[in-house]
Amino acid sequence: MGIDPSIVILDGARRTPRADILIKNQEPGLFSRFTATQLGGMAIAATLENTPIDKDLIGHVIMGMAQHSHRDSIYGAQGMRWRGGLGNDVPALTVARICGSGAESIAVGCEMMLAGVRHDKKRPFMVCGGGESMQYPFVLYNWRGRKVGEAVQKYGPIDAHALPRGAHLQDSLLMGLYDPGAQMSMANTAEELGRRYKITRDEADRFGYRSNVNAKQARDAGWFDEEIEPVTVQTDGAEEPVTVEYDTHIFDEISLAKMAKLWPAFEAGGIITAANASAVVDGAAAMVIGYESDAEKHGLKPLARVMGMGVAACDPQIMGWGPVPAVEVALENAGITGAEVDHCELNEAFAPQALACIKDFAKMGIDPERVNPMGNAIAMGHPLGATGSVLTLTCAYALRRKQQKYGVVTMCIGGGQGIALVLESLY
Q: Across residues 1-19, what is the average pLDDT? A: 91
Q: Give pLDDT tens digits for 34-72.
A: 999 999 999 999 999 999 999 999 999 999 999 998 888
Comparing 211 with 154, the larger pLDDT belongs to 211
Q: Rounded to an integer, what distance in angstroms lies between the CA atom of residue 72 and that of residue 38?
A: 10
The pLDDT assigned to 95 comes to 97
Q: Rounded to an integer, what distance in angstroms lies between the CA atom of residue 13 and that of residue 235?
A: 27
Amino acid at 384: L
The pLDDT assigned to 197 comes to 98
Residue pair 399/142 in contact by the 8 Å Cβ criterion: no
The pLDDT assigned to 212 comes to 98
Q: How confident is the model at residue 139 (pLDDT cuts 50, 70, 90)?
A: confident
Q: Which of these, 42, 37, 35, 28, lies nearest to 231 by C-alpha position?
A: 42
pTM: 0.94
Residue pair 125/113 in contact by the 8 Å Cβ criterion: no
- Which residues lie below 8 Å from residue 91, measured CB to CB, with a gap of 6+? 60, 61
Q: Which of these, 415, 397, 396, 423, lies nearest to 330 by C-alpha position?
A: 423
Q: Across residues 256-276, what is the average pLDDT? A: 95
The pLDDT assigned to 13 comes to 98
Share the mean pLDDT of the chain: 93
Q: Give pLDDT tens digits for 73-84.
A: 999 999 999 999
Residue pair 156/127 in contact by the 8 Å Cβ criterion: no
**pLDDT above 60 (res 155):** no
Beta strands in 79-210 (DSSP E): 92-95, 125-132, 138-141, 168-171, 178-179, 184-185
The pLDDT assigned to 397 comes to 98
Catalytically active residues, by annotation: 99, 412
Comparing 120 with 370, the larger pLDDT belongs to 370
Q: Rounded to an integer, what distance in angstroms lies between the CA atom of residue 308 and that of residue 2?
A: 6
The pLDDT assigned to 298 comes to 96
Q: Across the strands, what pairs with 306?
A: 7, 423
Q: Across residues 303-310, what is the average pLDDT? A: 98
Q: Give pLDDT tens digits for 374-420.
A: 999 999 999 999 999 999 999 999 999 999 999 999 999 999 999 99
The pLDDT assigned to 193 comes to 97
Residue pair 408/370 in contact by the 8 Å Cβ criterion: no
Q: Across residues 202-216, what is the average pLDDT? A: 98
Between 2.60.40.3120, 3.40.718.10, 3.40.47.10, 1.10.340.70, what CATH number should domain 7-136+279-425 receive? 3.40.47.10
Q: Rounded to an integer, what distance in angstroms lies between the CA atom of residue 352 and that of residue 256?
A: 16
Q: Give pLDDT tens digits for 325-365.
A: 999 999 999 999 999 999 999 999 999 999 999 999 999 99
Q: Across the strands, what pairs with 407?
A: 343, 423
Q: Rounded to an integer, what distance in angstroms lies between the CA atom of residue 387 and that of residue 393?
A: 10
**pLDDT above 90 (res 24):** no
On the question of a cis peptide bond just before residue 352, with omega within 30 degrees of 0, the verdict is no
Q: How confident is the model at residue 158 (pLDDT cuts 50, 70, 90)?
A: low
Q: Give pLDDT tens digits for 166-175.
A: 777 888 888 8
Strands 92-95 and 58-64: parallel
The pLDDT assigned to 210 comes to 98
Q: Across residues 254-262, what is the average pLDDT? A: 96
Residue pair 208/250 in contact by the 8 Å Cβ criterion: no
**pLDDT above 80 (res 422):** yes
Residue pair 231/17 in contact by the 8 Å Cβ criterion: yes
Domain ranges (residues) in the chain? 7-136+279-425
